[in-house]
Amino acid sequence: MASPKIVPVTDAAFRRALGRGREAAEVSSAARAATYSKRHDTVVIRFRGGELLEIPRDRIPELAHLPAADLLHLTISPLGDAVRLDKHDVAIHVNGLISRTFGTTPFAQAAGKTGGSVRSPAKAAAARQNGAKGGRRRAKAS
């Protein structure tokens, strides 16, 4: 098996990558903090846009078996995309956690409704062009 080719990174490429990372970290949907609520036995994730998400600990397999005292040391990754617990070498991607906890269907439905309701000049032009061709094909009876 051939050895991987090592390509040197230029200062300019490094600066561009650093800038992209900073932009990604400023997205309002990025997580800002994660805390553990002993009272409710939940993990609370705070997002940069001000939203809060509270998930019961028993719904998070990576944390369910750990001592509650250790959960007081939850952190967020620098990009705000993962909840971390370094003592136990745990990193849980926030998007995956949300999908696993709530399922993907509600989010896919919401995204579809939002996308379907968008009115833009491009969408209107596409609809006119499609109408000029006779519109949608009729469904075939089975």
pTM for this prediction: 0.61
Among 48, 64, 66, 49, which Cα is nearest to 97's? 64
Q: Specify the residue for token string 């509650």.
A: 68
pLDDT at 114: 65
* pLDDT, tens digit, 9 for 90 and up, residues 65-110: 999 999 999 999 988 899 999 999 999 999 899 888 887 776 667 6
Provide mean pLDDT across the span 124-133: 80
Using one digit for the tens of pLDDT, what is the confidence trace for 18-43? 888 777 767 777 899 999 999 999 99
Neighbouring C-beta atoms of residue 6, cutoff 10 Å: 6
Q: Which helix (H) or strand (E) holds 15?
A: helix 11-25
Q: Quickly state the pLDDT bin for 1 (edges 50, 70, 90).
A: low
Q: How many residues are there in the chain?
A: 142
Helices (H) and strands (E) in the chain — how many of each?
Answer: 5, 6
Domains in the chain, please, with CATH? Answer: 25-104 (3.30.2020.40)
Residue 56 confidence (pLDDT): 95
3-state secondary structure 80-122: CCEEEEHHHCEEEEHHHHHHHHHCCHHHHHHHHHHHHHCCCHH
